[in-house]
């Protein structure tokens, strides 16, 4: 994560706990969610890494999951949001576009939010998952 933030200036990946507990640092490594705080840069060499900045191209509309978080007030201070969104996109890729609230809550177990009661996050993920079904960015 330090390499992403300090050398590549991809600051959407946040430093939270540095112990893989909070999920603020989630990125995709070869399309799968990983906590970057415990992933060394050398471990990612030769692999595809996508951060929150890479979900939608510069100047393009937001990724459907990002848009769902915006529309449904799935964030408050925004600190956990990049990790939540990256986890949510991975969740959709693994479990499909129709997600129950229970599944979403179970899958978010490794992501902490200190501002919200999670309800708007759960709603955002459910709507984002459905929107991803109709998107080229799925």
Question: What pLDDT, in 10s, does the model give residues 90-105?
Answer: 999 999 999 999 999 9
Residue 36 pLDDT: 92
Residue 97 pLDDT: 96
Its CATH architecture, for the domain 2-133, is Orthogonal Bundle (1.10)
Residue 69 pLDDT: 97
Distance of CA 104 to the CA centre of its chain: 13
Q: Which residues in the chain come in under a pLDDT of 70?
A: 1, 137-138
Structure pTM?
A: 0.93
CA-to-CA separations, 77 to 31, 74, 81, 104, in angstroms, rounded: 27, 10, 8, 21
Residue 40 pLDDT: 86
Residue 104 pLDDT: 97
Helix (H) / strand (E) containing 71 = helix 64-71
């Amino acid at each position: 994560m330090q390499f992403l933030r300090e050398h590549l200036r991809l600051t959407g990946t946040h430093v939270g706990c540095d112990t893989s507990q909070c999920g603020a640092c989630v990125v995709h490594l070869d399309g799968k969610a990983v906590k970057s705080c415990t992933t060394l840069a050398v471990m990612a060499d030769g692999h595809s890494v996508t951060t929150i900045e890479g979900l939608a191209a510069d100047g393009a509309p937001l990724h459907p999951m990002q848009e769902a978080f915006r529309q449904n007030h799935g964030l408050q201070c925004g600190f956990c949001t990049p990790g939540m969104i990256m986890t949510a996109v991975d969740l959709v890729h693994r479990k499909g576009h129709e997600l129950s609230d229970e599944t979403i809550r179970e899958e978010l177990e490794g992501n902490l939010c200190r501002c919200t009661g999670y309800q708007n996050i759960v709603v955002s993920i459910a709507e984002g998952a459905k929107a991803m079904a109709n998107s080229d960015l799925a």
